[in-house]
Chain A
């Protein structure tokens, strides 16, 4: 399996990356860890004519305390998210979920920014950061802007990023001791989730997002709404799929996915309520 031929340029800084992608237009793609893009290129399901390698933009690999949030550079690898002491303390749900992405080899190369920018509804981190109410920072030729995770996912593999914009930072609110749970239901550990749930709960507030329950990661607002109005976990979990549009595939029918979502949301909330 060999990708179709392409031109390769390497960016040394964020500004250079944005300039390069601007020069090459629609046919160009950013290459970070490459673990979403290269598999598609090998199967020739993607054939960009130019790759702008941002893997060496070292100033985008960091995990910093931002006061009320943790700021994560877009090029931070899954393995570094998984093992971050700062995240373990303040956003343990994200660190835990990062440990479920792919397999160790994938986590050594894949980046949180790449995963989120790819906007795959079956990926673990888009839904997890969505549940956590994260804000994404994008930089383009006209400067930076913040995009709420809830506004970011626009369709299957489609995000709010403009073609000449680059995701640079993920800001995740500190969980402040909230209970949390990450439920990933799959048949092999290395696989995408058939259904996944990222959830946290603190006093009356909660956040619940679903993996692989539609064309985008799904924020289960009905569940959180019911909980905030005092519904029991079991009753709230019945609303798990209210916002979802589950698809049919080899592993599950839509009906089974809806059922799984209810079971997994209940289990997640039970765990998060402990």
Chain B
């Protein structure tokens, strides 16, 4: 079923302004580093300047005697604090090699930035001044920077593992063995490509910050953290530190963006709790940006080998994928599983009934650990298939749009069970692509190319697209089990109607910019027929919201939001019993609309929710056996992923003399199912697209051969500013998800997923007449110039 612009009536689907904004706009919102904690000690961490070294000795005396310093600790000093090593929640294979590591390294360091000692002092300045006085004697060892070099085991990083290979994970499709080879043998066309997903630094604008506050009289520990995952963090800190879970409380104040980088359990969180416990004082740490570039997880970092086979019509017959994924120095929380989140998506939006072969090998390097970064596995997969589709179109000599149209899963085929075993809920790729083509004047650009891209021209026009499916709504718990993930994917919600008919919603999602308070209040207002301003949304404090699995993977709406809607239903069911009792009617004869129950056919026999709420509170006249109060909790485990989709089209002009790429237009047509708040949906797409575009054109963590990050600041790591990126043209289609009552799919990562391949396809398209067929990311002026130089033998325009 596809409906365009069919927004539901009422508050749902309106462009409601965000209730989060006034506090943020006036500076009243408190981020973690804004908390006033009198008497708190400040933590600073001494980090390894070597990518790979043995620690011979650490001398801390001078630092310990420095003014304001309370204590200095090495890794060895704190070993007794840990009940277990740093947590890794995703052992993707039974034999995955995962070196034990602790918040401070002992013995060896495995990346520049690995913590080796820490200082507690009365001020941040005193703590950081004292770091300079700690003397560490290192025995430097060879760095391992390159993934293929790492796999060769020329230098083994973790002595106890004996190899740098962490795992190889295969997606085996039973009963189809051999079909891939057959398909390639029989193919009319094949392409074989190697793509590099460069390392990216997430760079949430708020650096990480942590404060651990011991409660009086042995009353446990409150951990404030700039995290996406208060609930998971609570469990993990309890386990890692040996604190009874009921004594751990995690609170996330306002959080300044995450993008996956705050989806982790970090050394500094564990250190703050351990030292607060030890010193019986609050301990806080705030990350400096330069420090964060090496101490906070990175994203991407894959080498992708992609092969496609197609028949004479260009219909795909097989996909073969071999990945090499960079773990970095250690496993962080879900490092190993990130590539697997894309494993199912390498056939993209295409009908591939025959043969699919995926294998990923994870290797350790002496670099900052990788982990989730916006899209997490899915942008990589989409990039690979969408770039390879353009290569296939090039080989066949047909328009890439034509090739995609021939291969799309047709809307009538949904729900569509792919070879990989997953079922795509709904979609209409042709519709989205046609809308994008129209908005971008695809045909017109192709015409303009004929006059602009002629011999001698130094301003070449290119247009490129990417059509994507995103695996969202993480996740059905049983599917996670089959992937060896050690948690579920449900989400919890409580809806509580207070005696005066004001509503409290408790959610297990943990927003950091997504506007959940606004959107969740809209869902409740729509369900219960109350004004959204009567609904308060409570979140991000494990004492108030004890159950939850937090915010990542575009899961909050399709899992958490749906849970809220279901909890509303449960409250309505209970209210109905009270209404039936008081109206002396049969429950079946009551209908609920506009916030009131009415006996069908008797409009005067009606009872508003407000009256029922008060009856439920006084409990003076409730049906026999019914508990007082109106409150319901739901824990929702989604039956399937949700599958947002869309087509992005980018138009660029490339200055072949300088290599500069200018984006002339960017069109994104996304379908996230029913939109709860289009204002917020558009914002998510805007931000996502620019982050993807930044991967395509600007960003890369650059290392030297010694494993030093060469661009460890925002002055050198090029997060683009407003001056450097275009405005965006958005369209959308609405194809509701049939698997949840709201019809929603999620939108947090879609923009990022579509953008990088659309931009690079456009750049390659512009340069195709010069013989350029691939472009490394980022397509920086220098890289573009080198690619032109390599293809033409001289840089065009260089030496006329």
Contacts and interface: CB of A to CB of B under 8 A. Distances in A.
B567 to A, nearest CB: 46
Interface stretch (B475-483, B496-504, B634-642, B780-788): B780-788
A189 B721 contact: yes
A188 B128 contact: no
B795 A188 contact: no
A188 B721 contact: yes
A256 interface: yes
Interface stretch (B247-255, B680-688, B710-718): B710-718
Interface in A156-192: 185, 187-191
A173 B797 CA distance: 34
A256 B782 contact: yes
A205 interface: no
A17 B724 CA distance: 41
B721 A250 contact: no
Interface stretch (A62-70, A129-137, A141-149, A258-266): A258-266
A262 B798 CA distance: 7
A188 B778 CA distance: 14
B703 to A, nearest CB: 11
Contact of A190 (B124, B721, B800): B721
Given A234-B800, A252-B782, A187 B657 contact: no
B141 interface: no
B-side interface size class: 20 to 34
B799 interface: yes
Contacts of A259: 785, 795, 798
Contacts of A262: 798-799
Contacts of A250: 702, 710-711, 716
A232 to B, nearest CB: 11
Contacts of A154: none
A133 B576 CA distance: 87
B533 interface: no
A188 B128 CA distance: 31
B722 to A, nearest CB: 9
A253 interface: yes
Q: Describe A's contact surface by its main secondary structure.
A: loop
Nearest to B711: A250
A188 B125 contact: no
A256 B288 CA distance: 34
A251 interface: yes
B800 A256 contact: no
Given A238-B799, A250-B710, A263 B782 contact: no
Nearest to B722: A189
Contacts of A238: 799
Given A2-B128, A263-B797, A253 B721 contact: no
B228 to A, nearest CB: 25
B80 interface: no
B422 to A, nearest CB: 39
The winner among A185, A187, A189, A194 for most chain B CB atoms within 10 A is A187
Contacts of B786: 256
A187 B781 contact: yes
Contacts of B660: 185
B36 interface: no
Contacts of A2: 124-125, 128
Contact of B780 (A43, A191, A251): A251
Interface in B362-383: none
Nearest to B715: A191
Contact of A189 (B657, B724, B795, B798): B724
Nearest to B698: A187
B288 A1 contact: yes
Interface in B759-800: 780-782, 785-786, 795, 797-800
Contacts, number: 53
B49 interface: no
B26 interface: no
A183 to B, nearest CB: 10
B297 to A, nearest CB: 22
A259 B781 CA distance: 12
Given A2-B125, A250-B710, A187 B658 contact: no
Nearest to A237: B800
Contacts of B702: 250
Nearest to B795: A259
A122 B148 CA distance: 36
B657 A188 contact: no
B723 A188 contact: yes
Given A251-B780, A256-B782, A188 B711 contact: no
A189 B719 CA distance: 11
A252 B782 CA distance: 6
A188 B724 contact: yes
A253 B782 contact: yes
A263 B657 contact: yes
Given A2-B125, A263-B797, A185 B658 contact: yes
Contacts of A4: 129
Interface string A85-123: 000000000000000000000000000000000000000
Nearest to A264: B658
Given A1-B288, A250-B710, A263-B657, A188 B782 contact: no
Contacts of B715: 191
B629 to A, nearest CB: 52
B720 interface: yes
Interface string B648-690: 0000000001101000000000000000000000000000000
B15 to A, nearest CB: 31
A189 B785 contact: no
Contacts of B124: 2
B723 A190 contact: yes
B658 A263 contact: yes
A191 B780 CA distance: 14
A188 B785 contact: no
Contacts of B723: 188-190
A1 B290 CA distance: 9
A2 B129 CA distance: 9
B787 to A, nearest CB: 12
A187 B715 CA distance: 11
A256 B125 contact: no
A189 B128 CA distance: 33
A190 B716 CA distance: 11
A23 to B, nearest CB: 27
Contact of A256 (B698, B720, B785): B785
B697 to A, nearest CB: 8
Nearest to B288: A1
A222 to B, nearest CB: 16
A251 B798 CA distance: 18
B770 to A, nearest CB: 16
Nearest to B128: A2
Interface in A35-91: 43
A256 B657 CA distance: 11
Contacts of B290: 1, 43
A251 B782 contact: yes
Nearest to B132: A44
Nearest to A183: B658
Contacts of A256: 782, 785-786
A223 to B, nearest CB: 15
B209 to A, nearest CB: 15
A188 B718 contact: yes
B798 A188 contact: no
Contacts of B698: 187-188
A253 B797 CA distance: 18
- Which 7 interchain pairs have the tightest Cβ spacing? A189-B723, A263-B657, A2-B125, A188-B724, A259-B798, A256-B782, A252-B782
15 contacts: A4-B129, A185-B781, A187-B698, A188-B698, A188-B723, A190-B723, A191-B715, A194-B781, A234-B800, A250-B702, A250-B710, A251-B782, A259-B798, A260-B658, A264-B658
Interface of A: 1-2, 4, 43, 185, 187-191, 194, 234, 238, 250-253, 256, 259-260, 262-264
Given A263-B658, A263-B797, A263-B798, 5 more contacts: A185-B658, A189-B721, A250-B716, A253-B782, A256-B786
